[in-house]
Amino acid sequence: MRFRTRNPLSLPSGSSWPPTFPSPSSYFCSTLGRACITGSYTILSAAGAVGSSSSPHCHGVKSTPGLNTTYFRLPHGTPGLLGPSISLMAFMKKYLPPILGFFLAYYYYSANEEFRPEMLQGKKVIVTGASKGIGEQMAYHLAKMGAHVVVTARSKETLKKVVSHCLELGAASAHYIAGSMENMTFAEQFVAQAGKLMGGLDMLILNHITNTSMNLFSGDIHLVHRSMEVNFLSYVVLSVAALPMLKQSNGSIVVVSSKAGKMAIPLVAPYSASKFALDGFFSSIRMEHSVTKVNVSITLCILGLINTDTAMKAVSGIINTDASPKEECALEIIKGGALRQEEVYYDNSVWTYLLLGNPGRKILEFLSLRSYSLDKFINN
Ligand SMILES: NC(=O)c1ccc[n+]([C@@H]2O[C@H](COP(=O)([O-])OP(=O)(O)OC[C@H]3O[C@@H](n4cnc5c(N)ncnc54)[C@H](OP(=O)(O)O)[C@@H]3O)[C@@H](O)[C@H]2O)c1
């Protein structure tokens, strides 16, 4: 399976905030091989129980060298994990099925939504980094669906060709504005101009990246700066400039990221840092939109290796794995945006979604909101 999407924790419209979770009297957070549950702790090792602690706070995952250490907060009055009547297995038996059921329900709920190309008909869409690669393919899909498109990149001549092909394919309108996303003033003005050309904006697809080759990090701070500016900061500037229009249209922001923005990958440290930053920033903004009832969706797209010319050149002789087709990848990104999915995973391996999907993070994000007093931010 190459592609999965999910939208596990978005609230149905009309839901109250903060949300209520089917309330187990204890709760947990987990990282691979370890779990942390705050409160009065019983400590277990991989080999068995090793001791206990009663610290009221657990700010991080504590570990004993060589051991996977697990802390649990149990309901008041519950015998400890070392006690006779409750064990880790009993705890898992009790709480794991409802939690898994909850996630499966969300998964199937989101998977049942059907994409229809008409969803994009007449919609006003910006695609950045659209002179080649995945961005170019997204422009062509959008054109076939009858959308208005404004594309951008630095090279005018290639953009011209993309625009004329979009018109041939049936775009409602197609324009280009050339410029560099190293220039934040250009980024801001570009959105305003594109909005004027189309008379508004429904979807902002952020896709461009600065040129990156695969190399050991040599201490090149300029490359780190450029990567953070082009791959991250300009995304923030573009979305800030677009937000008023997107609020009006109840529109969408689509952020194209990478596996390198979810897991460590060697030889691309500055690129990876910029992609992780996208996750941190846009996932946080997505939560804020949910809290403040801003109906602008944010879709983060996590891509594996895609057969664009740039990527094929960059990985040549370094990575031996099949690349997925850019045309299909482009379509899946658009579908995820149109369906307002939180995340889109597109890769040649099903493990990417299964392992990077990280339900533990989602559960923790969801539960951690309960300790925030967010009332004063709502309807401000
Ligand atoms: N291909 C993959 O294997 C792969 C894997 C994971 C994630 N992704 C993500 O998918 C997205 C597209 O990748 P791709 O392979 O399609 O890239 P690509 O073919 O290299 O296209 C990059 C686009 O960005 C533009 N660009 C480069 N520097 C720019 C700048 N300073 N200002 C404005 N535009 C600039 C390029 O046009 P100009 O040179 O004309 O400016 C081009 O249109 C990226 O976000 C990438 O991280 C790709």
State if residue 321 touches ligand 1 by the CB under 6 angstroms criterion: no
Q: How many angstroms does the Cα of residue 57 sit away from the middle of ligand 1?
A: 44
Q: Is the CB of 308 under 6 A from ligand 1?
A: yes
Is a pLDDT exceeding 80 seen at residue 281? yes
Look at 62 and 117; give whichever has higher pLDDT: 117
The strands making up 252-258's β-sheet, listed across from edge to edge, are 3-6, 343-346, 297-303, 252-258, 203-206, 124-128, 148-153, 173-178
| Total domains in the fold of the chain | 2
Instruction: Tell me whether residue 102 is in a domain.
Output: no
83 and 132 inside one domain: no
In a domain, 111, yes or no: no
223 and 266 part of one domain: yes
* Owning domain of residue 79: 1-87
Predicted confidence at residue 256, as pLDDT, reads 99
Same domain, 81 and 134: no
Which residue among the candidates 71, 140, 235, 271 is catalytic per the annotation?
271
Is 357 close to ligand 1, i.e. is its CB under 6 Å away?
A: no
| Position 109 in a domain | no
Element (H, E) at 191: helix 184-198
| CA dihedral over 37, 38, 39, 41, signed as positive or negative | positive
Say what the pLDDT of residue 104 is.
Answer: 60
Residue 105 forms part of a structural domain: no
pLDDT tops 70 at residue 21: no
Domain boundary among 87, 108, 125: 87
pLDDT at 298: 98
In a domain, 238, yes or no: yes
Kindly state whether residues 244 and 334 are assigned to the same domain: yes
Tell me: do 23 and 148 sit in the same domain. no
Ligand 1 center–CA 212 separation, angstroms: 9
Do 204 and 248 share a domain, yes or no? Answer: yes
Whole-model pTM: value is: 0.79
Q: Does the residue 25 lie in any domain?
A: yes
Let me know: does 2 contact 10? Beta carbons within 8 Å. Answer: no
Residue 98 lies in a domain: no
Q: Is 131 in the pocket of ligand 1 (CB under 6 A)?
A: yes
Three-state DSSP class for residue 108: helix
Using the predicted structure, report yes or no on whether residue 29 has a pLDDT greater than 70.
no
Q: Is 106 annotated in the active site? A: no
Does residue 104 lie in a domain region?
Answer: no
On average, the pLDDT of the chain sits at 81
Q: State residue 301's pLDDT score.
A: 98
Assess whether the C-beta atom of 234 lies below 6 angstroms from ligand 1.
no
Are 44 and 150 members of one domain? no
Tell me if 134 CB under 6 Å of ligand 1: yes
**CATH number of the domain within which 334 lies:** 3.40.50.720
Residue 295 pLDDT class (50, 70, 90 cuts): very high
The model's pLDDT over 302-359, given as tens digits with 9 standing for 90+, comes to 999 999 999 999 999 999 999 999 999 999 999 999 999 999 999 999 899 999 999 9
Out of 11-15, 207-211, 236-240, 242-246, least confident range: 11-15
Q: Pairing relation of β-strands 124-128 and 41-45?
A: unpaired
Q: Which atom of ligand 1 is nearest to the CA of 275?
A: 47
Residue nearest atom 36 of ligand 1, based on CA coordinates? 129
CB atoms inside a 10 Å sphere around CB 150: 26
Pocket test for ligand 1, best of 308, 324, 346 (most atoms within 8 A of CB): 308
